[in-house]
Amino acid sequence: MTMASVNGHPTPAGMLSLSHPLSSSYHKVYVSVISISRMKESRIRSRQRRKTRALTLSALVEANPRTLPSLSEGTSRSITKINDATQSAAASGVTDSDRRKNLADDMQAEARAMTRAATASVYTPEMVATKYGSRPFMVLRRTFDILFGLGSFAFKLLLDKWDGQLNQNKSLRAVQLRKIFTALGPTFVKIGQGLSTRPDLCPPEYLEELSQLQDALPTFPNAEAFSCIEKQLDFPLEDIYSSISPSPIAAASLGQVYKAQLKYSGQTVAVKVQRPGIEEAIGLDFYLIRGLALFINKNVDLITSDVVALVDEFARRVYQELNYVQEGKNARRFKKLYADKEDVFVPDIFWDYTSAKVLTMEWVDGVKLNEQVTIERQGLKVLDLVTIGIQCSLRQLLEYGYFHADPHPGNLLATPEGKLAFIDFGMMSETPEQARFAIIGHVVHMVNRDYEAMAQDYYELDFLSPDVDVSPIVPVLRDFFDDALSSTVSELNFKTLVDGLGAVFYQYPFNVPAYYALILRSLTVLEGLALYADPNFKVLAASYPYFAKRLLTDPNPYLRDALIELLFKDGKFRWNRLENLLVQGSKDRDFSAKDALQPVLKLLLGPDGEELRILVTREAVRVTEAVVVGSLMDTYSSLPDFMRTLVTSGSPTGPFLLKEAEQKNMLELRGQVLRVWGLLQSSNNFDPSLLQPILQVLQQGEARDLGGRVLGGIAQRLAARFLQQILQAPTSASSLQV
């Protein structure tokens, strides 16, 4: 192969110069070289790679490169963007043919990446047992390392406690614990990452040190990283990037990241390269942890969950993290589902530069979510970003069920535009569809303090087998929640809730599914991040708008039943509950009054809505009476004294012959109804014309029958009031029931 070289030189901003644009003559030479024998090409490629590895960071020699398969514009876009571009095709000038070609190019690039990752390992218990079961000396050595590292730390803490130096030595011990986790490898680094987001579990000194485990871990040599890139992508480094950072800009538990510039387009990207030997280290740890889990399952009666199943689920997800092509697919799916919101950003994947151990994705300028001072200097608020994260997490958990299971601060960035960027998609999980609605229903039952229904929810959540009797669980739930909910649900700390439910789980034969454990981890991490900025932050309070919106707008039968259950009690409509739901739901920018009206109306007029129709008829009569009589009361109050005397003929109760308490209740009901109407009117995109479909539905047979019943009830009620006035005989409200 014809070769050419130029003197390398340092470039600004600490980047490495790797190549110059190809001239047309170079391209012709390359085309002619294709005909050279495979053996000769292999020798020249080996010589190129040896030269590349020998280059210093400040001066690289450029060989005339083989050209990578040309990437189309669509490769740098997500499939979602391509599909979404349909509506703006005319404005952008992109034709249907262009979109189809872009999509086809993108799919072909992804297929090539999957081919490169075909040999990636997949976790199975049998695989780790076969691999490490026959290596007892390695297992014993690793066991000793873990016991020695953690045991020595525990012994030092015990000595500090005996000497009364526990508080004075916190900073020193925090540094030691970080170093121990780092030395023990990626499995324990992940444990440290989880602890670094929990200010309610760790002192500030530990939080500060352990936060360094998120992306400030020791790096491995550039030579190994660059060699990995060349082997995985099967091209010399200078053929791929025009520049790359001289050292990693971040190092995490599984790999390290470089900032680079693609040669074909000049686009800035992040290149993640996997640590050498990482699979061996993680596999051995999971072999040991699984052995411990087996021991716990057999001998520790206090823990009723299947610990082995939890370990296997976690191990499968960590092994998926080791396959960067799978992570790229996760990112694409996540982007398609959640990046439709303007405050959520998900970087795109470059498939032609991605393999099992190398991931190339769009570069994101941002600040870690726990760097509060830096974020506020940019005019942003941490709590606003955390709230975005919580709302996005709720969508992940309860709408599509596909969620980011590792949202530590190193994976969440605040962009200068105020967006929340997700940048790591190695560990993902899914919530079963049935469980999504059961979780929302569980929150409703908690608000209502309906502990019998809460206990039944555990069947839907797959926490209990159908043959388990939940009646003994109800008193335990009542004892915990009556105390925990002594103020309001919105003031309940999420950790308190988790700990309380955990106590219940330990007492009874619960089998906690793996997805639930990851949900708890995800939400507790977000709450932990918020506690940095506000020690009084409550994740449940921040979640209320989403739950309220879903209850009011989701047509799912399970959630419609939950809404009816929440709003009706003892045959009466609780307007204060509806008002509160509208207040909270309106805080969610996606809330729409139209969406809130339609599902309930369909249920009301459906074949199974007779019981609800009876309740609504009764409530409609009561509300109409309150509005009419209340308006008459206002009119009467506005009259001059002499006219009021003439109207009432001196009656101390006025013209309505209502007791003072009944008048007060009527006015309160009218006020609640008017406030609810005001909230509906203030909803996003509210327009009276939105009610036209409802009027059309009301013309149907069931609706006409319902309307007749309502009008008949109102007529009866007002007639009774009129006769009451004529006969001057006070009538109780109970005697006026329809």
From the list 607, 698, 623, 720, the residue with the least C-alpha distance to 615 is 623
For residues 321 and 315, what is the distance between their CA atoms, to the nearest angstrom?
10
Tokens for 249? 């800009």
* Helical spans, DSSP H, in 590-700: 593-605, 610-638, 641-648, 660-681, 692-698
User: Which residues in 509-612 belong to E strands, given as ranges?
Assistant: 568-569, 572-573
From the list 206, 256, 201, the residue with the least C-alpha distance to 229 is 256
Would you say 360 and 271 are in contact if contact means Cβ atoms under 8 Å apart?
yes
Three-state DSSP class for residue 259: strand
For residues 362 and 150, what is the distance between their CA atoms, to the nearest angstrom?
39
From the list 335, 365, 370, the residue with the least C-alpha distance to 349 is 335
DSSP summary character for residue 20:
-
Torsion of CA 546, 548, 554, 557, to 10 degrees: 130
Single-letter residue type at 95: T
Would you say 544 and 490 are in contact if contact means Cβ atoms under 8 Å apart?
yes
- Residue 203 Cα distances to 170, 171, 407, 530, angstroms: 8, 10, 21, 16
**Residue 406 annotated as catalytic:** yes
For residues 32 and 646, what is the distance between their CA atoms, to the nearest angstrom?
112
- Residue whose pair of structure tokens reads 């669980």 in the numeric block: 473
DSSP summary character for residue 248:
-
Tokens for 313? 């689920």
For residues 295 and 205, what is the distance between their CA atoms, to the nearest angstrom?
34
Tokens for 461? 């959540």
**Bridge partners (DSSP) listed for residue 349:** 361
β-pair type (568-569, 572-573): antiparallel
From the list 591, 656, 668, the residue with the least C-alpha distance to 622 is 668
73: which residues sit within 8 A by CB, 6+ positions away? 102
Residue 406 dihedral angles phi and psi, to the nearest 5°? -140, 60
Three-state DSSP class for residue 251: strand
- Residue 169 Cα distances to 185, 202, 203, 366, angstroms: 25, 14, 12, 34
Single-letter residue type at 514: A
For residues 29 and 16, what is the distance between their CA atoms, to the nearest angstrom?
26
For residues 711 and 136, what is the distance between their CA atoms, to the nearest angstrom?
83
Tokens for 659? 């007791």
- Residue 15 Cα distances to 49, 215, 388, angstroms: 20, 20, 34
- The catalytic residue among 239, 312, 352, 406 is 406
Would you say 290 and 282 are in contact if contact means Cβ atoms under 8 Å apart?
no
Q: Helix 324-338 to helix 382-395 angle, to the nearest 10 degrees?
A: 100
Residues annotated as catalytic (active site), given as ranges: 406
